[in-house]
Every structure is written in structure tokens, then in C-alpha cells.
Homo-oligomer: A and B are copies of this chain.
Amino acid sequence: MSVQSNPYGPNPSDFLSNVNKFEVIESTLREGEQFANAFFTTEKKIEIAKALDDFGVDYIELTSPVASEQSRKDCEAICKLGLKAKILTHIRCHMDDARVAVETGVDGVDVVIGTSQFLRKYSHGKDMNYIAQSAIEVIEFVKSKGIEIRFSSEDSFRSDIVDLLNIYRTVDKIGVNRVGIADTVGCANPRQVYELVKTLKSVVSCDIECHFHNDTGCAIANAYTALEAGAKLIDVSVLGIGERNGITPLGALMARMITADRDYVLSKYKLHKLRDLENLVADAVQVNVPFNNPITGFCAFTHKAGIHAKAILANPSTYEILNPSDFGLTRYIHFANRLTGWNAIKSRVDQLNLHLTDSQVKEVTEKIKKMGDIRQLSIDDVDSIIKEFHSDLTTPSIRPQTNGGQEADVKVIADEELEAKRRKVE
């Protein structure tokens, strides 16, 4: 059996799976604008739209042009940029909004209406017949303008399944381009998602788009499971920014998808630009990239425990499903601590161009662990212990040290460097 086999690709028994042909609807400039801290100037919106386009997103979704006068002007400005990505705007299912939207120059309109009991009671107060009538009117109007149209329910997972399937079949029959499922409150779990998408797939012939909020931490897994069940498009935003704690993050979805189909993801998206894109948006909305962010969190490729470090030095895939170089990043072995092992220390000894036998390395490792029990160690502390140990063995003939000449693919660092790195990203 090959150790290179990848069981994380599409399941061969999933005939409906779109895991290896998914598309991304990037909503930093719509859902993301609903994030508490977000205020995007026109210039910032254009900068973000260009960066998203360069990254390779399939669609860019913008705030409704009826939200405010400037929102409309910004929408028009972004449509005129001539980006490769298709430009969408997101409106209520209402002719007043649709008439404004189709004049902005967008490639498509995303229409949404609340179908849950909650929304029908506390938001718009309409029944399913009214919803269907509005949907048909808006869809036919937008189609008449030669523009893509998506119809989505809101809070789909708390809507009546019969109501949902009825309305989706209705809009599918009149030729909507996509139907959308939205977990507006972030309550859905993966198996519910799988069931709903699979059922919907049997009812409509158009593409299925999914939108997952992250209140209960399942937005990435739900997106993946939706693709397995036959959804084609996933709504994302940079760092997941949106209402409350947001939606499926673009970067985390890339981590999930590259694990399933590396070639497809690398062929479509410029992953090495992810970090800059996240920093751009993080700065714009004045947040720090979370320390535990997939891929770009400061410790995402840092290995610490002795047994982990040993195997990583032998073959990084032992403890990594992602390859940091795919994202223009580097892995780190954290050796200056009490959990360190002799393999990590041996690697540092080599970097220092010193020569110790394995048993000598084990001996100096014990000294380092003892010091690590007392306080946090810096790389200088560890180097001093190693050098002193080496010096005691070889005095008076110490080899000259070289700097950095041995730095290999695997970089071994200590607390102070990590600290500097942490400060930089936060």
C-alpha cells in the first residue's frame, strides 16, 4: 500500500459530488460589509475587489444598491473595472430593488427572501404564495434583462421542507440560474446539510449555492458536505467576516478543498496571495488574523512536541495534511521548550554546524528540558547550552560557527522568533 494514497478526495460513491469542480461566491463586499467593524470606502472596495479577482474567485457579491446612495455608486464603479470575476449584487425579493439592481451593470442578481416561520412572522410577514408571486415577478424581470439570477431562501434550515421544495421547483421551472440554501443563523450540522442538498438536487435542475453562518463552528464542514451532496457554489468572505461571527472563510475553505483535490484548487486559485488578501481585509476592518486561523494563523505550521518534531523532520506529511509551500509559507519546529525531543535538538545542532553523537545529543536534550521546566526558553538559551556542552567535549579545539548555511526546508526556531512572528501577524 502506498503511503501517498489520498482517501480525502471525492468519495467515489458520491455521483452528485462537486468537490472537484466547486466555485466560490466571494461576499466580503456584501456579507462582509455587515460585519460589525466594516466600513469600506469606495477606494478600499475597489482594492479588495481587485485583490479577490486576482486571487481567482469566480463571483464577487456586492451590497444591495438600494442600501444607500454610495452603495449603488460603488456597485457601478466595481462593475466598470472589467474584472474576470462575475459581479453580483444581493437584493431583497422585491421589484423596487430589482429595478435598481439591473441598472448597475452587474452580471447577476442574488435574490433572497425569508421562508422560515420566524422570518415570515417577525420580518416581512408574508405567506408562501406571496413569496412565490414576488419571486416569479422578480426572476422574470431580471432574466428579461439578460442577467444571471439566483433565488435563495433565508434561514432555510428552519423553513418547512415542503414549502422550500415547492418554491425551489417553481423558480427552477421558470429558469433561475441558481437556487440558494442559507443557514442564516448558523444552526445546521453536516448531516442535515447533506440531506437537504441531496433532496433539493433531486427536485431542481439548476445549480445549488450554499451560504453557511459559523455561530456553532460548522460553516467550513457544512460547505464541504454540501459540495459532496451536489451543491456547486459556496459563499465565502475573507476571514469569514459577516453578521455576528460570520460565514465560511475563504482561506479555511481553501484548506479544506486542497486536501480533497489539490490539482483543481492550485489550478484555479492563487493560494500564495491568501496571506496578503487576509491582511488587506483584516487591516480594513481593524481586526487581527486569529491566532488559530487555518493556514495563516501564526502557529498553523508550527510543531512542538518531541514525537511530532522527530517525524516532521523525517517526512513533513507525517503531521501535516497541508503543504505550507502551497501557500508561500514555511513550517517551523519549535524546539526551545520542555516538550522538545532529541531529534529536534539534533537538527539544531546540525544547523549550528556542530558535531555530536546521538547519545551526546540525548544528553544535551536532557539539560535543555531541565532548563525548560524552570522557565520559557529562547533560542539563545538553547544555543548556549548546546555550545557550552560541545565546548566541554572538544576544548580546546572548537570548530568555527557558520550562520544559517544549513537552513533547510524545515526551519527550527524558538520562542523569541515565534513571538516576533506572532506580533507581526496580530
Contacts and interface: CB of A to CB of B under 8 A. Distances in A.
Interface of A: 1, 3, 7-8, 11, 33-37, 39, 63, 67-71, 92, 114, 116-119, 121-123, 155, 157-158, 160, 184-192, 194, 214-218, 220-222, 224-225, 228, 239-241, 243-246, 249, 252-253, 255-256, 259-260, 286-288, 290-294, 297-308, 310-311, 314-315, 317-322, 332, 334, 337-339, 369-370, 372-376, 415, 418-419, 422, 426
Contacts of A217: 220-221, 249, 252-253, 255-256, 294
Contacts of A215: 255, 294, 300, 320-322
Given A190-B190, A259-B216, A304-B36, A118 B71 contact: no
Contact of A117 (B3, B11, B293): B3
B243 A304 contact: yes
A376 B39 contact: yes
11 contacts: A3-B117, A68-B372, A68-B373, A118-B317, A191-B228, A217-B220, A218-B221, A218-B224, A245-B299, A287-B422, A290-B292
Contacts of A186: 321
What are the 3 A-B residue pairs with the smallest beta carbon separation, nearest first? A221-B221, A290-B290, A217-B220
A319 B243 contact: yes
A214 B11 CA distance: 21
A8 B187 contact: yes
A289 B245 CA distance: 12
A370 B71 CA distance: 10
A371 to B, nearest CB: 10
Number of copies: 2
Q: A118, A228, A369: which has the most chain B beta carbons within 10 Å?
A: A118
Given A36-B334, A123-B314, A217-B252, 16 more contacts: A3-B118, A33-B339, A36-B304, A68-B373, A191-B225, A215-B300, A217-B256, A218-B224, A220-B221, A244-B302, A244-B303, A245-B293, A245-B294, A245-B297, A246-B292, A287-B291
A124 to B, nearest CB: 8
A414 B217 CA distance: 26
B239 A292 contact: yes
B122 A299 contact: no
B373 A71 contact: yes
B36 A318 contact: no
Nearest to A183: B321
A311 B1 CA distance: 56
B292 A240 contact: yes
Q: A36, A225, A249, A376: which has the most chain B beta carbons within 10 Å?
A: A36
A338 B71 contact: yes
